[in-house]
Amino acid sequence: MTPDPNLDPTPDTTAHSDRKAWMGLLARASPGQLAGLLPDLPAHDILRAPEIGAVMVRGRIGGTGAPFNLGEMTVTRCVLRLADGVVGHAHVQGRDRAHALRAAVVDALMQTDAAANLRQTVLTPLQTAETTRRTTRASKAAATRVEFFTLVRGEDQ
């Protein structure tokens, strides 16, 4: 394959982990919140129109062993190219075509000079919302943790 600065096939470089992080965040984001943060989309060519499909989710036997097929989940994917040639990809959970389109636009813009601004106006609010949602749920679970206590015997003063 011809190398492309945006699509370096070597996995897990710093550039990738950054891009992986925002793509994951966009995939998990609420479509409504994303649309609110980025109402207007820049001009773009569609390379793969938003497409609803299924991804087979796999687990591992015993949590750590050989893979098995657990069942599918709905996923929508989209690929587009901005006017300046930068390509954005998205695979997002669910069946919301507008969500996939917006996620692909953000993925493309994050590879341009607009990145710093976009991080502040779109990614940070999404991250904050996600952290709040996760922490709320985790703190409710934490309140149901059993604190076993044993009556102290002996001469501990």
Partner 1 sequence: MTPDALTGGFADAPIQSARAFRAAMEALSRPGKIETVAGAQPPAPLSVAAGVLLLTLADGTTPVHLAGAHDSPSVRDWITFHCGAPLVAAADAVFAVGTWGAMQPITRFAIGTPDYPDRAATLIIEMPDLTTQGPRLTGPGICDVAGLSLPETAAFRANHALFPLGIDCFLTCGDKVAGLPRSTLVEDI
Partner 2 sequence: MYVAVKGGERAIDNAHAFLAEDRRGDPQVAELSVAQIREQLRLAVNRVMAEGSLFDPDLAALAIKQARGDLIEAVFLIRAYRTTLPRLGASNPVDTAQMAVVRRVSATFKDLPGGQVLGPTFDYTHRLLDFKLAADGQVPPAPTAPVSAEKVPHVTEFLNRDGLIEAEPQSDAVPPDLTREPMELPTSRALRLQAITRGDEGFILSMAYSTQRGYGRTHAFVGELRIGAVAVEMDIPELGFSVEIGEIELSECETVNQFKGSKTEPPQFTRGYGLVFGQSERKAIAMSLVDRALRWKELGEDNIGAPAQDEEFVLMHADNIQATGFLEHIKLPHYVDFQAELELVRRLRADAATMQEAAK
2 burial (CB, 10 Å; 0-12 / 13-18 / 19+) is exposed
Interface residue with partner 1, options 18, 51, 72, 84 (CB under 8 A): 51
Supply the angle between the helices 97-109 and 14-28 in degrees, to the nearest 10.
150
Nearest approach, Cβ of residue 10 and partner 2 (Å): 8
Span interacting with partner 1, options 78-86, 103-111, 120-128, 145-153, rule CB under 8 A: 78-86
Site residues (CB under 8 A) for partner 2, limited to 46-65: 51-65
How many residues touch partner 1 (CB under 8 A)?
13
Q: Which of 60, 64, 106, 111 is nearest to 85 (CA)?
A: 111
Instruction: With CA atoms as reference, report the closest residue to 121 among 34, 12, 23.
Output: 34
Q: Is 52 in the site for partner 1 (CB under 8 A)?
A: no
- Residue 64, binding choice from partner 2, partner 1, none, Cβ under 5 to 8 Å by partner class: partner 2
Of 78, 77, 80, whose CA–CA distance to 46 is shortest?
80
- The residues of the shown chain that bind partner 2, judged by CB under 8 A, are 7-12, 16, 20, 23-24, 27-28, 51-75, 77, 79, 89, 91-95, 134-146, 148
